[in-house]
A and B are shown apart, each in its own frame.
Chain A
């Protein structure tokens, strides 16, 4: 059958994954973002080794560290979800099991991402209380 659509229109947004190159691009984008974020994260963890609750609260409660931590968490969980999807697609061949595994992993990672961000916000509230002398 003669296709009337241009080659560009056929490839855009399609392919076997049904979403073109966006998955590949986002895994690359998050990996670039995670280079400085991971270096920052490890330096932060080293500085917090054996730290008391008050020290952790003061550190995470600083706007720069809190912001970097939320960015690190979001990039990490997004990157993990995309990576796990590729691995499941490569090794799980039963369509139903594959779909259920990908959805299950993504739901769990979304939950962990939200829990961790809420935790950072709650730690920030401890820092505010400490500043108010509470």
Chain B
């Protein structure tokens, strides 16, 4: 085909990032990250299934500085994907599709995901 190697739309090199487009790709990125993150959940469940010693080892790995940072970021990714997913379901009902509503729901989604992440870690903090 003669279309090989033609640039694909949208032309990201000249495309000005907006809240809407950045939040759209972030929804996908958090989806991929959470898919990879299921490995941690499987690891934690498997450790508890193997026995008390394995559970303590897993707690040490996940409780380390790096482990806690990764879990913190996954907490935000999960809340973001949850809130943005609800926003998508709201759109699927044919509501909130005008420009003002899209920006308002975008800001609500973003701040809700950040707020829920901090509330979760403040409650769960040892």
Asked whether A9 is an interface residue with its Cβ less than 8 Å from the other chain, the reply is: no
Number of A-B contacts (CB under 8 A): 79
Q: How far is the CA of A45 from the CA of B89 in the complex (A)?
A: 26
Asked whether B114 is an interface residue with its Cβ less than 8 Å from the other chain, the reply is: no
Q: How far is the CA of A101 from the CA of B125 in the complex (A)?
A: 39
List the A residue with the shortest CB-CB distance to B71.
A45
- How many Å from the CB of B38 to the closest CB on chain A? 6
Q: How far is the CA of A50 from the CA of B32 in the complex (A)?
A: 27
Query: In the complex the two chains form, is A31's CB within 8 Å of B89's CB?
Result: yes
Within 8 A of B (CB), among A11-65: 28, 31-32, 34-35, 38, 42, 45-46, 49-50, 52-54, 56-57, 60
Asked whether B7 is an interface residue with its Cβ less than 8 Å from the other chain, the reply is: no
Q: Out of A45, A60, A80, A123, which one reaches B34, CB within 8 Å?
A: A80
Q: How far is the CA of A80 from the CA of B45 in the complex (A)?
A: 18
Q: How far is the CA of A35 from the CA of B79 in the complex (A)?
A: 10
Q: Interface size (A, Cβ < 8 Å)? A: 34
Query: In the complex the two chains form, is B42's CB within 8 Å of A46's CB?
Result: no
Query: In the complex the two chains form, is B85's CB within 8 Å of A56's CB?
Result: no
Query: In the complex the two chains form, is A119's CB within 8 Å of B126's CB?
Result: no
- Residue-wise interface mask of A (85-125) relative to B, using a CB-CB cutoff of 8 A (1 in contact, 0 not): 00100000000000000000000010010011011101100
16 contacts between A and B (CB under 8 A): A31-B88, A32-B89, A38-B78, A46-B124, A53-B55, A56-B48, A56-B55, A60-B48, A77-B38, A80-B31, A84-B35, A116-B38, A116-B46, A118-B49, A119-B49, A126-B51
Q: List residues of chain B with CB under 8 Å of any chain A CB.
A: 28, 31-32, 34-35, 38-39, 41-42, 45-46, 48-52, 55-56, 59, 63, 75, 78, 82, 85-86, 88-89, 92, 120, 123-126
